[in-house]
Amino acid sequence: MSSTRKGEQIIPTSDQLKEASLLIDVRAPVEFAQGALPGAINLPLMDDDERAQVGTCYRHNGGDAALRLGHQLVSGALRDSRIAAWRDAIARHPDALIYCARGGQRSGIAQRWLAEEGLEVPRLKGGFKAARRALMTVTEQAAEAPSLVIAGLTGCAKTDMIKALDSGIDLEGHARHKGSSFGRQPGQPPTQIDFEHALAMDLASCRAPYVFEDESRRIGSVEIPLPLWHGLCAAPRVLIEMPLEWRLAQIRRDYIDDLWTQYRNAYGPWLGWALMRRQLVSALVRLKKRLGSARLERLLQLQQQAFEAHVTTGDSQAHDGWLSPLLSEYYDPMYHYQLRQAEQGPAFTGSWQEVLAFVREAVDQQRQGGEVE
């Protein structure tokens, strides 16, 4: 990209998006907040108010008048400051690409202003819309590719297995949510668009067959794209079986120890503890319909006792008092029911290590032209 020509436009592909050292999104902040391309930063040509004024002018007076107004609004020192922001970013990332909504006026103006400053920077042809279409095509193609789905009761460390595989696709990681009522993570979840884009880039970086965790279509605040969801429903499943005590240790690590570390790092000890505690209580209360009032009240009491013991001794193992019955009385029966409803049984069942070995062998076999047995 260092030998770009004036006005050059790059056709957006997943490879181009991966290779770009930086993507500069010149859309307004409100557009960027709804979803952007992976790794992009927002250095807008117009802010939200300026964009709104230009949009109103366009609707009432047409394109030429709107363009003139845009140049009036972003002129003089304001124009210079926005060019300077682009220049600073490009100085740090010489292979940067510029894009706007459809690759038209805004990115073209930014490209032209930079060219006047001696910087020839390419822009994405078709802008955000074309790049999004390319990324969604990656996901649609992946939905048709061979895949395996790792199933198992809550606490079987399915996500750990996904991370241990070079073809593992961490849906929960992209959703920033662990996939259950207790799975919310500190901070803002991704928008649906950002989730879909990060997932597509991950799929483009891996080689099929892909390996996914058994999930509901909705993970936290986002949904798995429908073509991929259909592909996952039809894919062979492998089943991890581990004893309750082993699973309890995993659940405690994921939903107590790791969550506490995240909240403490994000908010400090006092507020972090209060927010984590509120999240876990709220998650349990949300299960009231399924648990029933009496069982919920018992689990809430056990949970409060665990919090008190945890804060007194610093030992999170006290949480086993409410996590164990939650698993055995709620999550395990629900998961067993779902397994019985499946049209096909698992392709393989075994311990965590046995399933990992099976999946690795199955992936290698598929890549060499065989089938998953």
Catalytic residue numbers read 100
Residue 281 and residue 168: Cα distance in Å, rounded?
32
Residue 330 tokens, joined: 């709620």
- For residues 304 and 281, give the distance between their C-alpha atoms in angstroms, rounded to a whole number: 9
- Read off the tokens for 138: 């990656």
219 DSSP β-pair partners: 222
Pairing status of strand 218-219 against strand 222-223: antiparallel
Estimate to the nearest angstrom the gap between the alpha carbon of 330 and the chain centroid.
28
Give dist(CA 62, CA 75) in Å, integer.
21
Give the closest residue to 96 by CA, choosing from 142, 41, 135, 133: 41
The rounded distance, in Å, linking the Cα atoms of 208 and 211 is 8
Residues 209, 146 contacting (CB under 8 angstroms):
yes
Could you give the count of Cα atoms lying within 13 Å of 266 in the half-sphere of its Cβ?
A: 15
8 Å CB contact between 168 and 211: yes
| Residues 148, 362 contacting (CB under 8 angstroms) | yes
